Amino acid sequence: MVSAIRMGLCLFLVVCGSVRTDGASPAMSNWVSTVVTDNGQLAVKGTQLVNQKGEPVVLRGVSFGWSNWWSQFYNDGAVGWLVNDWHCTVIRASMGVGPQGSYLDRPEWSKKLITTVVDAAIKNDVYVIIDWHDHNAHQRTDEAVAFFTEMAKRYGDCPNVIYEIYNEPVEVSWDEVKKYSNVVISAIRKIDPDNIILVGTPHWDQDIHLAADAPIENQNNLMYSLHFYADTHKQSLRDRADYALKKGLPLFISEYGGCAANGDGPLNLEEWENWVRWMEANKISSVVWSISSKDETCSMLPPEAKNNGNWPPETLKPSGRQTRDLLRKYNASSGKTIDEPKSVSKGEMLANGGFSEGKKNWTVDQAQGAEAEVVINKEGPKGASAFRMDVVDVGEEPWNLQLYQGNLKVREDQEYRLTFWVKSNYEGTIKVICMQNHEPWEHSTEQEVLVSEQWKKKEFTFSGPWNDENARITFTDLATDDDRVYWFAKVSFQPVVSQK
Ligand code: MG
């Protein structure tokens, strides 16, 4: 048994030693999206959005606000939160084009915001809409062509991406919108033959009947944007949408709200519910406006919302709470819940880390003839209790003398911090390891500790690559010289609490 321990430890000292650096925040929900993995490249069949197997897909998510005004939310953390906590399966990045300080003034800055969100969406396995958020797009076709050409080159092979080429044409004819759309669609299709393209319709994306009567021809995988605000647009717009569907027009609700069309006023939950029922019955994808903290009803975040997610659900504005509830209800099957992690120990995990109870809970391992004398005294910093070890015989290998404490529960997705004070009677190096206290003696990493004649406080963090009910902290390589003395004091081992 003893020799097996030594062999195991020795092997792992050679083989292991990597430190996990991909620590996901343990504060986040354990739901992850699998929607793109499950559905892959999207297409349009009849009026229906379908997956790579030709089966219907319904995406549900949220839209960021205008990038020029709400740039602070265009980051990785916010996207991760919208997926893991809100259960979005699609995110819309709305690049402001016309207003001062938006794309036309600051193209590189604006593009960076969009690609940050797109890349984060890809990382989180959700679909993402690149929205040319412009009410006058038909007046600047060249700019749109240049932008979407660049996006198609960058993301055309990526099944996650959907292009929305014209957000809400206003007082402009369907012919004008169609002319513009044909040019932009052709530019995208030169590079990307298949990703979904959303085409705007006149009058803030409500005149879908005009598109239904004269749709764009000879193009594939197009859908037409329908936008509604539930307190303004009611059954008559749903009737119009039914008409469009009957005529074979594929619809995608790339933006909607539960309030009035100006984004404000009371939420109309009854009409919102009517719309949800209609969308679900017709298997139509939808995106709620918006992730912003403006003082208006449709803006879902409170003014104090952090930039990078971590929004406690109870602090969301009513439109945000309602949206989150709906997404969590209807998107449940588009992701999976990772197994509940084992409970995390909180606070101090060591027993008798300060040696106030003598040697209790600590073990000195003496192997292959190594030997040490141990005493607990008050030679610690400022008279604290200290564990003093006098090496008498070094045995055969440095690790033949160890001091450890076991029975520690560690979790694989949790980081731990070890702190202690140490000194020796001369300068040298020892090691400290967090490892299994049983076969196969896996350990996460080993850390070198410089010791000297001065008391020094040391601090190390460890991430275990395993869940374990019986791990240990081990001070090792103590058997180097037979006149060496070590003192240890104030040893502490605690989970690192995530910063929220
Ligand atoms: Mg493609």
Residue 259's nearest CA partner among 227, 282, 285, 283 is 227
Helix ranges (H only) for 16-105 are 35-39, 76-84
Q: How many angstroms separate the CA atoms of 280 and 296, rounded? A: 27
Distance of CA 233 to the CA centre of its chain: 35
Residue 337 CB-density burial (10 A; 0-12 exposed, 13-18 middle, 19+ buried):
exposed
What is the pTM (predicted TM-score) of this model?
0.67
Q: By the 8 A CB rule, do 480 and 394 touch? A: yes
The full set of domains in the chain, from first to last, is: 4-337 (3.20.20.80), 363-495 (2.60.120.260)
**pLDDT score of 443:** 80
CA of 195 to the centre of ligand 1 (A): 5
CA of 38 to the centre of ligand 1 (A): 17
Q: By the 8 A CB rule, do 247 and 224 touch? A: no
Mean per-residue pLDDT of the chain? 91
Residue range 58-92, pLDDT digits in tens: 999 999 999 999 999 999 999 999 999 999 999 99
Q: Which of 168, 271, 415, 442 is catalytic?
A: 168
Q: How would residue 415 be classed by pLDDT, with cut points 50, 70 and 90?
A: confident
Compute how many other C-beta atoms are within 10 angstroms of the C-beta atom of residue 1: 5
CA of 52 to the centre of ligand 1 (A): 12
Residue range 117-160, pLDDT digits in tens: 999 999 999 999 999 999 999 999 999 999 999 999 999 999 99
Is residue 3 over pLDDT 90? no
CA of 443 to the centre of ligand 1 (A): 44
Q: How would residue 412 be classed by pLDDT, with cut points 50, 70 and 90?
A: confident
296 labelled catalytic: no
More confident residue, 236 or 498: 236
Q: Which of 143, 171, 217, 255 is catalytic?
A: 255
Mean pLDDT to the nearest integer, 369-386: 94
**pLDDT score of 2:** 36
Q: By the 8 A CB rule, do 430 and 486 touch? A: yes
Q: Scan for tokens 């912003």, then name that residue.
A: 292
Q: How would residue 345 be classed by pLDDT, with cut points 50, 70 and 90?
A: low
Is residue 436 over pLDDT 90? no
Q: How many angstroms separate the CA atoms of 258 and 266, rounded? A: 8
Dmax of the chain from CA atoms? 95
255 labelled catalytic: yes
CA of 166 to the centre of ligand 1 (A): 19
CA of 138 to the centre of ligand 1 (A): 24
CA of 444 to the centre of ligand 1 (A): 41
Q: What percent of the chain has pLDDT over 70?
A: 92
Q: By the 8 A CB rule, do 273 and 245 touch? A: no
